Amino acid sequence: MNTILKFFKNSQDDEVIIRLFTFLTGSWVLLNFISQLPIYFSLWESVDSLILERGSHGIQLPMVLDILTYFPSMTPFVFIGTITCAVLLIAGRSNILIRFLIWYFVWILDAKAWTVLDGGNNLIHLTLFYSILLDYRYGSLEIQQFIRKIGLRAIQLQVVMVYLCAFHSKVGGDLWINGTALYYIAQVDKFQSLNLLALFKAVPFSLPFLVYSTMIIQLLIATTLWIKNFRLLPILLGTLVHLGIASTMGLVSFSLVMIVHYSAFLGSSELSIVKRLYIRYARNLVSLLFIFIIVGFGTKLTSAKGSAYSHFLSKMNVDFIMENLNEDSRIFIYHSSTNESEIIRKHSISILKEKDLNQLELELGSITKLITAIEFLKMEKKGILHRSDLITLPDGKTVSMNELLFHSSGIHDNEFRSYLTVKDKNFQYSNANYSLVGKYIKEKKVKYQLDEYVYYPNFPASSALIKNTKRPLVEEFNKAAWGIITSPLKLKEILQDINLNNIPCLTKGKCWGGYRSGKRFITIGKLTSGTTLASVDEAGEVIILSSNDFSINLEKIFLSLL
Amino acid sequence: MINFKKSAIALLFICHFSILTVYLINPEKIDVINLYVEPIFRQNWHMFAPNPLTFSSRLVVKCSDKDGWIDPTMGLLEKHSRLPLVHYQKSIFLFNSISQTLLDSRTTFKNETHCGNVSLKHCEKSFKDWIRPKDAFLKATHIGKQICGTTSLKIHLGVYIEHAKAYSTSLKIQNKGAEILELN
């Protein structure tokens, strides 16, 4: 019995650890619930939202304990209560009641928000419950300290159980044993923040390495967290693994929970290291600044276009995509070398059949911008229109056709009501630019091929894509920027005698556009926009027409298809 | 006396974690232990194990006045990787677990009740004991209404399923199987 009691012996670091752990869990709860505020109504107040009853799958609340079952209107108060308790925990003003309330509130709120829970929420429910003991202040001092230690040990044991169970159940899975499990996880679309598949392809060894090291680290954490003077290693490794999970699989809140829980394991040696580091570096303003600069520079470097890293990624992706196309592919996916290429994922590829093209009205979306540009160039060739032509906006400022075609007029789509204000002349993609080009072509009474077969669809206002139809002035000419082509065969006529390489905005990747309808996504030129990329990412069929620096002549392929 | 108290508390601690251990390692749950664990200490740490999911599913919506299926999660993943600390991932989870739940309940119904080939909507009555599927179905309907607006006469709900490719040493990709299961 004495050896067991020794396990719960009070140590001088306990109060510091409890304070740190309380601070971190409070912060996590605060962050978690604040970050869910934008979807508050879908989670807790949706008209369709049901209160869970006993006997359902998942969290099972004894009915008597769940006040939200009886009083659903209490939800906002419980929510505010949670936030308040979390703030109190962070401020170190906790007592046993506050700790009980925060556990209870989180517990009943999460029971309703069952759709968004993960392992992190599960762990926090348990440790919040155990941490009620961390503020036990009744009876003699010895008992107080003992019970607080019990609470701390329970939290530690719970964390170790997580890792042991995770390891144990992985050992029972074939895919983990043969080292391919991550290959499948990387394909589940909600866990794709980085294209791991391309990494596995480029560096085949990385797959078994990552799978086995995950398992080994889990076992290592579970077994060595108890060892004094050694636990800094599992804590650092675990933090690293969870940061990796957060960045590759996007499981940020889960990873944060796990990292927060390591704080319950810190001992005096680790605390003193943290303290030493703090005194040596963080207290010194100059070194702090230095760290910021290094981190900032590193981030800039990795995200900079054309950097070696992003080039590597994009090369990897293009190779990956090209290799994985079917033999009977008619349209090829091409992505030029930008660092966003990692966003293209394997599931975005499928093939559009020729007969589909002839049967369907092809929604071109912003591809229409390219056609407008092509038409404009054709007319310029004939000497009817010129890129140097100026138009005067109602506010008196003038912009050239060239600027409009290049999206460098400074007209901003989002501020369309005041679109007449010309801002700086940097690249600013907007529908208004091309609408104005369309308007100009029309005013010149030039025969505008687009008129014959492109129409501007009349979408209901609910469609998120077309919210911009409220823009009054240029709506009429919006089809120069955005439209549906009724006969894809007509597209062939337009594209026939034009070299896509000569389209000014295209060669510089500046008249890109894309459109997505259902599972089909079409884009042209370089992919440089976040939204475009996101659509590509989610689409089932992607058609990317492109022309530059690639060995395969894509426009020919496209034309042969048409 | 103090030592006695301490020993008693420590014993409770050991009992508690022994029960949790039995709960966790025993694949066939024991009723008595469930009664103790489930309400407050319910836990499951089979993260991607024994074997990870081999397919993804997404909720998709089709409006009667528009072509094609609409995916409400469109763009969320990209937004999440830009701003990881806000609600985007939870929104992805929201749509995902709705589709997953609908899918699960569908297959369960196929096996267990007459509802196999009948649309989910008609089966709504037998969802009485299926709180989550019902909640998921209502949430999905709500999402459908939001997407299609009032102009749509009929809103189709579907689950887009994408099967993961099997691993082979050459990593040569076969065509990935993808299908849309219509729910109503």
Q: Tell me: the pLDDT tens digits for A440-449?
A: 777 776 555 5
pLDDT over 60 (residue A148) = yes
Q: Residue B92: which of A534, A125, A79 has the closest Cα?
A: A534
Q: Residue A482: which of A473, A469, A493 has the closest Cα?
A: A469
Helices (H), A250-366: 252-262, 268-277, 285-303, 308-323, 354-359
pLDDT over 80 (residue A15) = yes
Nearest CA in chain A to B144: A462
CB contacts, 8 Å: A35 with chain B: 85-87, 90
Å between A274 CA and nearest CA of chain B: 25
B62 Rama class: left (phi>0) / alpha (psi -120 to 50) / beta: beta
pLDDT over 70 (residue A538) = no
Does B20 sit within 8 Å of A519, measured CB to CB? no
Q: What is residue A437's predicted lDDT score, i.e. its pLDDT?
A: 78
Residue labelled with tokens 């005067």: A392
Mean pLDDT value across residues A108-132 = 88
Local confidence band at A182 (pLDDT 50, 70, 90 cut-offs): confident
Cα A341 from Cα A511, distance rounded (Å):
18
Segment among A43-47, A169-173, A398-402, A517-521 with least mean pLDDT: A517-521
pLDDT for B11-59, tens place per residue? 999 999 999 999 888 767 777 888 888 778 888 887 777 777 777 777 8
Q: What is residue A425's predicted lDDT score, i.e. its pLDDT?
A: 55
Residue labelled with tokens 């890129």: A387
Mean pLDDT value across residues A150-161 = 93
Does A62 sit within 8 Å of B45, measured CB to CB? no
Q: Residue A259: which of A166, A149, A124, A151 has the closest Cα?
A: A124
B144 vs A481, which has greater pLDDT? B144
Cα A89 from Cα A29, distance rounded (Å):
10
Q: Is ipTM beyond 0.95?
A: no
Local confidence band at B130 (pLDDT 50, 70, 90 cut-offs): low
Q: Is the sign of the CA dihedral A355, A350, B160, A340 positive or negative?
A: negative
Mean pLDDT value across residues B160-172 = 63
Q: What is residue A195's predicted lDDT score, i.e. its pLDDT?
A: 64
pLDDT over 60 (residue A514) = no
B42 vs A357, which has greater pLDDT? B42
Q: Are strands A541-545 and A520-524 parallel, antiparallel or unpaired?
A: parallel
pLDDT over 50 (residue A243) = yes
Q: Of A182-186, A359-363, A475-479, give the range with the top mean pLDDT.
A: A182-186
pLDDT over 60 (residue A306) = no
- Each as own residue / partner, the long-range contacts of residues B72-75 (CB below 8 Å, 24 or more positions apart, any chain) are B72/B143, B72/B147, B73/A538, B74/A516, B74/A534, B74/A535, B74/A538, B75/A531, B75/A534, B75/A535, B75/A537, B75/A538
Nearest CA in chain B to A54: B131
Q: Which of A4, A146, A462 sits opposite B148 (nearest CB)?
A: A462
Q: What is residue B107's predicted lDDT score, i.e. its pLDDT?
A: 59
Local confidence band at A539 (pLDDT 50, 70, 90 cut-offs): very low
pLDDT for A252-280, tens place per residue? 888 899 999 998 988 877 888 877 877 77
pLDDT for A388-435, tens place per residue? 888 776 666 778 887 777 777 776 654 333 344 444 555 566 667 777
Mean pLDDT value across residues B75-93 = 74
Share of chain B above pLDDT 70, in %: 63
CB contacts, 8 Å: A201 with chain B: 171
CB contacts, 8 Å: A170 with chain B: 48-50
Residue labelled with tokens 């499948």: A184
pLDDT over 80 (residue A104) = yes
Q: What is residue A446's predicted lDDT score, i.e. its pLDDT?
A: 59
Cα A474 from Cα A432, distance rounded (Å):
7
**Residue A361 gets which letter from DSSP?**
P
Does B44 sit within 8 Å of A534, measured CB to CB? no
pLDDT over 90 (residue B119) = no
Strand, coil or helix: A482: coil
Nearest CA in chain A to B171: A201
Local confidence band at A385 (pLDDT 50, 70, 90 cut-offs): confident
Nearest CA in chain B to A517: B68
Does B45 sit within 8 Å of A165, measured CB to CB? yes
Mean pLDDT value across residues A35-55 = 63
Q: What is residue A485's predicted lDDT score, i.e. its pLDDT?
A: 54
Q: What is residue A26's predicted lDDT score, i.e. its pLDDT?
A: 92
Å between A450 CA and nearest CA of chain B: 23
Q: How many alpha carbons lie under 13 Å from residue A253 in its C-beta half-sphere?
A: 29
Local confidence band at B85 (pLDDT 50, 70, 90 cut-offs): confident
Mean pLDDT value across residues A533-547 = 42
- Quote the mean pLDDT of chain A: 67
Instruction: Give the phi and the psi of residue A539 in degrees, each rounded to 5.
Output: -80, 160
CB contacts, 8 Å: A46 with chain B: 139, 142
Q: What is residue A483's predicted lDDT score, i.e. its pLDDT?
A: 56
Local confidence band at A366 (pLDDT 50, 70, 90 cut-offs): low
Q: What is residue A339's predicted lDDT score, i.e. its pLDDT?
A: 29
Local confidence band at A160 (pLDDT 50, 70, 90 cut-offs): very high
Å between B107 CA and nearest CA of chain A: 16
Does B49 sit within 8 Å of A176, measured CB to CB? yes
Local confidence band at A226 (pLDDT 50, 70, 90 cut-offs): confident
pLDDT over 50 (residue A319) = no
CB contacts, 8 Å: B67 with chain A: 517-518
Mean pLDDT value across residues A459-481 = 39
A195 vs A354, which has greater pLDDT? A195
Share of chain A above pLDDT 90, in %: 14
Does B149 sit within 8 Å of A460, measured CB to CB? yes
Nearest CA in chain A to B2: A143
Q: How far is Cα of residue A241 from the mean position of the Cα atoms in its chain?
A: 19
Q: What is residue B81's predicted lDDT score, i.e. its pLDDT?
A: 66
Cα B16 from Cα B21, distance rounded (Å):
9
Cα A434 from Cα A319, distance rounded (Å):
34
Does A246 sit within 8 Å of B53, measured CB to CB? no
| Assigned token pair, A396 | 């008196």
Segment among A80-89, A269-278, A524-533 with least mean pLDDT: A524-533
pLDDT over 80 (residue A50) = no
CB contacts, 8 Å: A204 with chain B: 171
A64 vs A383, which has greater pLDDT? A383
pLDDT over 60 (residue A121) = yes
Local confidence band at A194 (pLDDT 50, 70, 90 cut-offs): low
- Quote the mean pLDDT of chain B: 71
Local confidence band at A85 (pLDDT 50, 70, 90 cut-offs): very high
User: Please, what is the end-to-end C-alpha distance for chain B in angstroms?
Assistant: 68
CB contacts, 8 Å: A183 with chain B: 167
Mean pLDDT value across residues A69-73 = 74
Q: How far is Cα of residue A97 from the mean position of the Cα atoms in its chain?
A: 38
Cα A331 from Cα A553, distance rounded (Å):
11
Local confidence band at A71 (pLDDT 50, 70, 90 cut-offs): confident
Å between B117 CA and nearest CA of chain A: 23
Q: Is the sign of the CA dihedral A89, A92, A93, A96 positive or negative?
A: positive
Q: Which of A35, A50, A116 sits opposite B93 (nearest CB)?
A: A116
Q: Which of A35, A119, A531 sits opposite B45 (nearest CB)?
A: A119
Helix, strand, coil content of chain B in percent (nearest 5): 50, 15, 35
Q: What is residue A159's predicted lDDT score, i.e. its pLDDT?
A: 94
Does A538 sit within 8 Å of B73, measured CB to CB? yes
Does A346 sit within 8 Å of B90, measured CB to CB? no
B168 vs A98, which has greater pLDDT? A98
Q: What is residue A202's predicted lDDT score, i.e. its pLDDT?
A: 73
